[in-house]
Amino acid sequence: MIAVTGATGTIGSELVRLLAARGGPVRALSRDPHRGEELDGVEWVTADLGERDRLAAVLDGADRLFLLTGNAADMVRLQKNAIAAAKRAGIGRVVKLSALGASEHSKSVIGLWHRNVERALEESGLAWTVLRPHVFMQNLLDQREAIRAEGRIYSAAADGRVPFVDTRDVAAAAAATLTEPGHEGQRHVLTGPEALSYDEVAEILSEVLGRPVEHARETDDEAWARLRRGGLPPWLAAGQIALYGYQRAGGPTAEVSDAVERLTGRPARGVEEFAREHAQRLG
Q: Give the mean pLDDT of the chain.
A: 96
Q: Quick check: 263 and 173 in contact, CB under 8 A?
A: yes
pLDDT in tens, 248-263: 999 999 999 999 999 9
Complete DSSP assignment for 200-235: HHHHHHHHHHTS--EEEE--HHHHHHHHHHTT--HH
pTM: 0.96
Distance CA 242, CA 264 (A): 31
List CB contacts of 105: < 8 A, sequence separation 6 or more: none
CATH number of 134-166+191-254+269-283: 3.90.25.10
Q: Is 2-133 assigned to CATH 3.40.50.720?
A: yes
Distance CA 182, CA 173 (A): 13
Q: What is the pLDDT of residue 58?
A: 95
Can you give the residue ranges of every domain in the chain?
2-133, 134-166+191-254+269-283
pLDDT in tens, 61-114: 999 999 999 989 999 999 999 999 999 999 999 999 999 999 999 999 999 999
Q: Quick check: 175 and 84 in contact, CB under 8 A?
A: no
Q: Check pLDDT > 90 for residue 48.
A: yes
Q: Check pLDDT > 90 for residue 187.
A: yes
Average pLDDT over residues 20-39: 93
Give the angle subtended at the CA of 163 by the CAs of 160 and 167, to the nearest 5°.
Answer: 135
pLDDT in tens, 99-157: 999 999 999 999 999 999 999 999 999 999 999 999 999 999 999 999 999 999 999 99
